[in-house]
Every structure is written in structure tokens, then in C-alpha cells.
């Protein structure tokens, strides 16, 4: 029997009085009373409308209706997070990257969709805006992490780049506490960790606007930060993601750098495209030592699909957008681009000392993922998502007409054959990041399931869509009907039961 609870969160002057949003980027603290230029009203940003519009309720619904059949072996939680501004009175909350993190989760067990929950991460600011107590003292750069949610040694961690500590969540998505890896994380972290299952190591590359370096962190099997390497780096670039192979850490030094003047003027995310900052790849042994840098043509590198060693080369597959890329857009809302995100490959030839770049697929796509067991090892398959609304939002900000090729779909790549399959969704059905879950006892890399939230425009709500990865273009195995809309957001994970 279905049942649900709703907690409506009010908007209005009470929230305005509750205080401004502390951004996930340290410099937000440099000008706490500043206002973003040209931020306008709440309706000024395409990242607050349509598929992006934040939801205002926390829902709990049990025994969700399902079309098709949920595979009985999928026992765990599918979690995905994203920005969901809680109160829009502070213009800095309008920037897509700074919305308060909200995790959307579906609990699957024995072929049933047991529950759906969506919960804000309770940072001190969010707790205050919700009128709830915040246990203890808020950590520096406190923020409701909005970028990724991962399982790690029995815990669920919400992650953010730059300053904020991760937040630990419990199995019902309640915020537990800030998490610092048993008191061993000193300072900034990342949203894009890489877990090497064979080595039982969690790797991170952290940046911070006032640092003259970036940090490579290795969290070993004990769950502690066992090694920290500081890599000198000028210009304070935004290092959203990185790559990991069996031998190397690959840093991507992008020409998007911290801008003190923009911070002083109150820019929500004070990072700018910097023509004077060269684009480089840095290759460093996982155990540390000198970093070897390779200058390459500038692009906006957004996400790593995966990376691996091949002879004397390091192969990195990734999504990127053409230069220049504007984090601030027109001063409100979110980033803007001058072209579609594509899937590309860098081959770093360590012997010859140069980098070859290849376009793998010009179908606009983002949020690339692999079978997680192969992170840092050679993969054959990759998965990605397209959402027309996302592209439209980027181009609305930039004033460029939408690309007709960009439709709502999930994509499966076969790198061995150089082919792709596309699972299309109808107009208005925005698809978000796909996560691959292996079948129990799987022998083939793609023997398993692909899970993603997809908007259902007819219901005005979202579904959890479950595809067979080996029958990618076939009918979904299941569509779990959620009671609400999941706004287009960022990243997530399958959290299997222990
Ligand atoms: Fe990301």
C-alpha cells in the first residue's frame, strides 16, 4: 500500500532573514555582503526554470509504482545529487553551482521499489534556513555539498570541490555530520574522487583559491588520508576533475582561474576564462614525485570517463566544451558555452613527449561513466547522458540557438569497435547521469544495468529508468515512478547493500 509524507518548505522573507548562502567556493566568504551584478530576480536564470527548477518539498513515498520489473538482484540505493536552492532571496544562490545540495534516492529491494526520498544536505546554513538545530560547530567553508554522492566503506558521502568537507548521510538520507576521514583531511576535497578497487585506494585532487598548489590525496584501506602530495601550480585554476591510471595521476590544468577582482565584486563563482593561463596536462606517479607537464590546446575539460596506461602512453577519455567557457555566464544563473560538449581522448606519449587529441563522438553528451570496477584500468564501454534542456540553458545564457542534434538520450559507447548506441527519450524527457551496476556474477564488462533519472513530461515528475546494458536500445526493464520531479543536477552512485 502506497503511502507518502510531504514536508513543504516555505519560501519568503523568513528565509531571506535566515541569512545568505555561503558558497562552496572559499572566496564567497571574502565578500559576504556583496551582491552579484545583474543577477536580477529569481526568474532571470535558465538554471532555475523548467527541468532545472528547484523543488520545494522533501518527499517520502513507499512502494512506488513500477512499469516493467525491477531486477530482484538490485538491492541497494540509487542516489543522485544536485543543486536545489533553498530560498532565492540571495542572488548568489541563483548560480547553478551554488544551489544547496539535495540528494534524491530510490531504495530497491527484492524486485520492489521500496521508497523514494529527497533530502537537502543539512549544512549549518541549510539547517538554519529550515529552522532546525545544527549539532556542534559548523566547519570552515561549510556548504550543503551538491556535486556528488558516493559510497565509501559503509558510509554515504556527499561531496563538493574546493573548500567544504564532505557530509556523511545515513541510509535514509539524513545528514549525520561533516566527514574528515577520521580527522585526517586537512582542508579542501573534491567531488570527483577515483576509487581504485584493486588497490583499495580512494584518490582525490583538491584545489583552493588561495593555494599556490593543488593536493593529491590518497585515502588508503584504513579510511585515512595516508598520503598528501602538494603539486606547485600557479594561477589557482578550477580543477573540477582529474584522471587516474594504474601508474599515474593526471592533472588537468584548465584556463579557468580564480579572479580576485571578480571575488571582490561579489561574483557568485569568481573564476574566469583566462587567455594567459596555458592549458596543460600534468602526469605524476601515483606514489608522488615530479609532475611532467604537457601544454595542449585549450578546451573546457569537464569530466573524465576513465583513464588507463597503454605501453608508454597514458590514455584519458573525457568530455569537453570548446574554448572559451564562461563559468559565470552573463553574471547570473550558471555557465555558458560556445559549443556542444563532446567525448574526446588525450593520448599522452611519455616517450615522445607530446599529447595527441582525438574526437571520439561529436554527439553532445555529458556525465560520462564507466563500470566502476575498471576505474584506472582499460575499459571497453562507457555511458553518458544528453539533456536538451541543459544545452538550451547553457546557450540561452550565451545567446546561441540550441543545437538540433542535442536531444534527450542515454548513450553507450563501445571503444573497441568505435561505435555507440543511443537510447532516446521523448521531447521534454531530460535524462541525467547514467550509472552502471554490474549483474551478480557478471563476466562481461557490460553485463548489468544502467540506471538514470529521466523526466516524464506527461506526469510532470521523474522516473528511475533501469536499462539492460546489453540491450541498451531495448525497452527499459523498469520505470520506477517517483512522486516528484528530480531537477537536472550533477552526479551520483549505486550504493549496494553490504
Ligand atoms: Fe562534475
Distance 303 CA to ligand 1 centre (A): 6
Annotated binding-site positions for Fe cation: 192, 240, 303, 491
Query: What is d(CA 313, CA 363) in angstroms, rounded to the nearest whole number?
Result: 26
Residue 146 Cα to ligand 1 middle (Å): 10
Q: What would the mean pLDDT of 315-337 be, rounded to a whole number? A: 83
Q: Give the pLDDT band of residue 401 (cuts 50, 70, 90).
A: low
Helix (H, G, I), strand (E, B) or coil at 403: coil
Phi then psi for residue 142, to 5 deg, are -60, 135
Query: What phi-psi label fits residue 87: left (phi over 0), alpha (psi between -120 and 50 degrees) or beta?
Result: left
Ligand 1 centre to CA of 96 (Å) is 12
**The pLDDT of residue 336:** 82
Phi, psi of 427 (to 5 degrees): -55, 135
Burial 357-381 (b: 16+ CB within 10 A, else e): eeebbebbbbbbbbbbebbbbbbeb
Tell the residue number behind the cell numbers 581504485, with chain if given.
196
For the stretch 404-449, pLDDT in tens is 556 899 999 999 999 999 999 988 899 999 999 999 999 999 999 9
pTM > 0.85: yes or no: yes
Rounded to an integer, the average pLDDT of 139-146 is 94
pLDDT at residue 193 tops 50: yes
Instruction: Kindly give the distance from the C-alpha atom of residue 368 to the centroid of ligand 1, in angstroms, as a whole number.
Output: 10
Ligand 1 centre from 491 Cα, in Å?
7
Q: Does 324 sit behind a cis peptide bond, omega within 30 degrees of 0 on the bond before it?
A: yes
Q: How confident is the model at residue 265 (pLDDT cuts 50, 70, 90)?
A: confident
Q: What is the pLDDT of residue 96?
A: 85
Please give the pLDDT value at position 338.
79
| CA of 192 relative to ligand 1 center, distance in Å | 7
Q: How confident is the model at residue 15 (pLDDT cuts 50, 70, 90)?
A: very low
Q: How far is the CA of 225 from the centre of ligand 1 (A)?
A: 22
Average pLDDT of the chain, as a whole number: 88
Query: Do 343 and 365 form a contact (C-beta atoms < 8 A)?
Result: yes
Lowest mean pLDDT among 24-33, 163-172, 387-396, 400-409: 24-33
For residue range 451-468, what is the model confidence (pLDDT) as tens digits? 999 999 999 999 999 999
| Confidence band, pLDDT 50/70/90 cuts, at residue 390 | confident
- CA distances to 212, 218, 375 from 305, rounded to whole Å, are 28, 20, 9
3-state secondary structure 93-125: HHCHHHCCEEEEEEEEECCEEEEEEEEECCCHH
Instruction: Report the alpha-carbon distance of residue 223 to residue 105 in Å, rounded.
Output: 25
In the chain, domain spans: 3-496
DSSP bridge pairs for 221? none
CA of 279 to the centre of ligand 1 (A): 19
Distance CA 129, CA 123 (A): 10
Tell me phi and psi for residue 171, to 5 degrees. Answer: -65, -15
Burial of 3 (0-12, 13-18, 19+ CB in 10 A): exposed
Instruction: Using the mean position of ligand 1's atoms as its centre, give its distance from the Cα of residue 403 in Å.
Output: 22
Report CA(240)–ligand 1 centroid distance (Å). 6
Rounded to a whole number, what is the largest CA-CA distance in the chain? Answer: 65
Residue 336: HSE in the Cβ half-sphere, 13 Å Cα cutoff:
19
Dump pLDDT digits (tens) for 76-88: 999 999 999 998 7
Each residue's pLDDT tens digit, 88-110: 777 667 788 889 999 999 999 99
Give me ligand 1 centre to Cα 411, in Å. Answer: 18
What pLDDT is stored for residue 403 in this prediction? 58
Q: Give, in order, the Cα–Cα distances in Å from 417 to each of 305, 362, 372, 447.
A: 17, 16, 21, 17
Which grid cell is 367? Answer: 556525465
Write the pLDDT tens digit of every residue in 230-254: 999 999 999 999 999 999 999 999 9
The C-alpha cell at 237 is 585554476
Q: Which three cell numbers stand for residue 39?
A: 543577477
Q: Which helix (H) or strand (E) holds 459?
A: none
Q: Does residue 375 surpass a pLDDT of 70?
A: yes
Is it the case that residue 211 has pLDDT exceeding 50?
yes
Containing 304, the helix (H) or strand (E) segment is: strand 299-310
What would the DSSP string read from start to end of 260-302? HHHHHTT-SS-EEE-TTS-EEEEEEETT--PPEEEEE--EEEE
Whole-angstrom CA distances from 235 to 186, 210, 265 are 22, 10, 19
Q: Give the number of residues written for the chain.
A: 498
C-alpha angle 166-237-202 in degrees, rounded to nearest 5: 35
Third-level CATH fold of 3-496: Neuraminidase (2.120.10)
The larger pLDDT score, comparing residue 7 to residue 360, is at 360
CA 436 to ligand 1 centroid distance, Å? 17
Amino acid at each position: 500500500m502506497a503511502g507518502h509524507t510531504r514536508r513543504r518548505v516555505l519560501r519568503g522573507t523568513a528565509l531571506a532573514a535566515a541569512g545568505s548562502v555561503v558558497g562552496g567556493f572559499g572566496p564567497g566568504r571574502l565578500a559576504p555582503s556583496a551582491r552579484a551584478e545583474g543577477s536580477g530576480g529569481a526568474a532571470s536564470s535558465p538554471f532555475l526554470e523548467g527541468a532545472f527548477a528547484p523543488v520545494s518539498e522533501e518527499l517520502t513515498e513507499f512502494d512506488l509504482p513500477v512499469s516493467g520489473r525491477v531486477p530482484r538482484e538490485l538491492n541497494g540505493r540509487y542516489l543522485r545529487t544536485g543543486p536545489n536552492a533553498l530560498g532565492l532571496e540571495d542572488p548568489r544562490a541563483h548560480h547553478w553551482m551554488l544551489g544547496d545540495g539535495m540528494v534524491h534516492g530510490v531504495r530497491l529491494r527484492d524486485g520492489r521499489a521500496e521508497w523514494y526520498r529527497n533530502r537537502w544536505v543539512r549544512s549549518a546554513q541549510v539547517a538554519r534556513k529550515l529552522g532546525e538545530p545544527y549539532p556542534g560547530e559548523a566547519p570552515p567553508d561549510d556548504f550543503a555539498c551538491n556535486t556528488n554522492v558516493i559510497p565509501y566503506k559503509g558510509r554515504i558521502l556527499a561531496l563538493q570541490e574546493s573548500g567544504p568537507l564532505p557530509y556523511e548521510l545515513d541510509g535514509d538520507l539524513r545528514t549525520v555530520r561533516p566527514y574528515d576521514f577520521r580527522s585526517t583531511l586537512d582542508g579542501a576535497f573534491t567531488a570527483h574522487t577515483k576509487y581504485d578497487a584493486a588497490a583499495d585506494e580512494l584518490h582525490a585532487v583538491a584545489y583552493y583559491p588561495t593555494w599556490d598548489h593543488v593536493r593529491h590525496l590518497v585515502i588508503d584501506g584504513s579510511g585515512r588520508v595516508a598520503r598528501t602530495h602538494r603539486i606547485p601550480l600557479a594561477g589557482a585554476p578550477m580543477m573540477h576533475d582529474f584522471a587516474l591510471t594504474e601508474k599515474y595521476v593526471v592533472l588537468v590544468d584548465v584556463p579557468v582561474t580564480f579572479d580576485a577582482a571578480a571575488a571582490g565584486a561579489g561574483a557568485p563563482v569568481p573564476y574566469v576564462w583566462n587567455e594567459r593561463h596555458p592549458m596543460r596536462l600534468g602526469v605524476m606517479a601515483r606514489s608522488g614525485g615530479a609532475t611532467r607537464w604537457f601544454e595542449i590546446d585549450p578546451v573546457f575539460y569537464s569530466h573524465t570517463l576513465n583513464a588507463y596506461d597503454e605501453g608508454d602512453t597514458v590514455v584519458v577519455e573525457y568530455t569537453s566544451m570548446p574554448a572559451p567557457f564562461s563559468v559565470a555566464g552573463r553574471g547570473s544563473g550558471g555557465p555558458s558555452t560556445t559549443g556542444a560538449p563532446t567525448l574526446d581522448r588525450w593520448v599522452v606519449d611519455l616517450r615522445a613527449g607530446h599529447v595527441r587529441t582525438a574526437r571520439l563522438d561529436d554527439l553532445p553528451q555529458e556525465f560520462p561513466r564507466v563500470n566502476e570496477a575498471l576505474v584506472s584500468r582499460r575499459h571497453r564501454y562507457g555511458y553518458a547522458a544528453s539533456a536538451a534542456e541543459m544545452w538550451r540553458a547553457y546557450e540561452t545564457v550565451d545567446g546561441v540557438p540550441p543545437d538540433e542534434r542535442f536531444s534527450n538520450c542515454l548513450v553507450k559507447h563501445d571503444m573497441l569497435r568505435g561505435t555507440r548506441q543511443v537510447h532516446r527519450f521523448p521531447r521534454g524527457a531530460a535524462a541525467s547521469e547514467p550509472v552502471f551496476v554490474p549483474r551478480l556474477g557478471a563476466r562481461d564488462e557490460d553485463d548489468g544495468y544502467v540506471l538514470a533519472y529521466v523526466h516524464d513530461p506527461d506526469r510532470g515528475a521523474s522516473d528511475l529508468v533501469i536499462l539492460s546494458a546489453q540491450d541498451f536500445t531495448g525497452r527499459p526493464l523498469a520505470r520506477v515512478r517517483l512522486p516528484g520531479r528530480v531537477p537536472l543536477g550533477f552526479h551520483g552512485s549505486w550504493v549496494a547493500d553490504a
